[in-house]
């Protein structure tokens, strides 16, 4: 029997976070060696999610936005309308690569998605996710090191957050790309555990792209770069 090697992409639309989290976990627990990999692409109503490494004091003022504790890595982040959230549900053993490369491939998918819209995305060592230069997000110059050694995020804005879980070689949770959203709720937390870390979205840096446009591009890039 040939094993499935393609990723089946499903557009979920706008869905509540908690039942989506529970569905991902149930899918992962129930899958076996013959289960096809899937990629769920969706959008969530406003919610803060706290990862396993999260500290409660990084949630400064949640107000009426719910806080949900999850089993992904990382700390606190915000999901809301205007943000594309992608959840790859993959068997890494079958794919033939390890977690570090998996993270690299997700980040590369985001970088290629940003490039599609003319934006240059950057990695920051030790801080998963993708960042852009706030003063010139369209510059092709490489980020050779922190713009300010005392503040590795100086001059940068986080445009995509990453948080994953791997159980029995199988992944869930994923990546969130900010497209055109209300960024104010990010000011009520220390995003990803970093006080004062600026977040941005495509709209704020001057890119006019619909949620659907960004979702389509990110979905295709992930399906391509995560393939075995």
Exactly one of 103, 192, 223, 226 is catalytic; which is it?
Answer: 192
- Residues 119-128 as b or e (16 or more Cβ within 10 Å = b): bbbbbbeebb
Say whether 170 is catalytic: no
User: DSSP readout, the chain?
Assistant: -PPP-SEEEEEEEE--HHHHHHHHHHHHHH--TTPPEEEEEEE-SSEEEE-TT--GGGB---TTS-EEE-SSSS-EEEE-TTEEEEEEE-BHHHHT--HHHHHHHHHHHHHHHHHHTTPPPEEETTEEEEEEESS-TT------S-SBTTBTTTTEEEEEEEEEEEETTEEEEEEEEESS---GGGGGB-GGG-TT--B--TTTTT----HHHHHHHHHHHHHHHT--
Active site residues: 192
């Amino acid at each position: 029997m040939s094993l499935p090697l393609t990723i089946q992409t499903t557009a979920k639309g706008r869905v509540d976070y908690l039942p989506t989290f529970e569905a991902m976990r149930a899918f992962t627990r129930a899958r076996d060696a013959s289960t096809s990999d899937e990629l769920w692409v969706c959008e969530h109503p406003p919610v803060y999610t706290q990862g396993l490494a999260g500290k409660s004091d990084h949630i400064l003022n949640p107000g009426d936005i719910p806080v949900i504790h999850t089993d992904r890595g990382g700390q606190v982040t915000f999901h809301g309308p205007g943000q594309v959230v992608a959840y790859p549900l993959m068997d890494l053993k079958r794919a033939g690569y390890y977690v570090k490369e998996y993270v690299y491939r997700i980040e590369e998918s985001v970088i290629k998605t940003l490039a599609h819209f003319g934006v240059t995305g950057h990695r920051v060592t030790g801080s998963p996710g993708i960042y852009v230069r706030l003063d010139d997000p369209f510059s092709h110059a490489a980020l050779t090191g922190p713009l300010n050694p005392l503040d590795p995020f100086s001059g940068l804005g986080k445009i995509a957050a990453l948080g994953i879980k791997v159980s029995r070689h199988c992944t869930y949770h994923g990546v969130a790309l900010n497209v055109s959203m209300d960024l104010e709720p990010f000011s009520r937390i220390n995003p990803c555990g970093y006080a004062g870390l600026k977040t941005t979205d495509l709209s704020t840096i001057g890119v006019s792209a619909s949620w659907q446009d960004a979702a389509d591009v990110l979905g295709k890039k992930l399906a391509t770069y995560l393939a075995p």
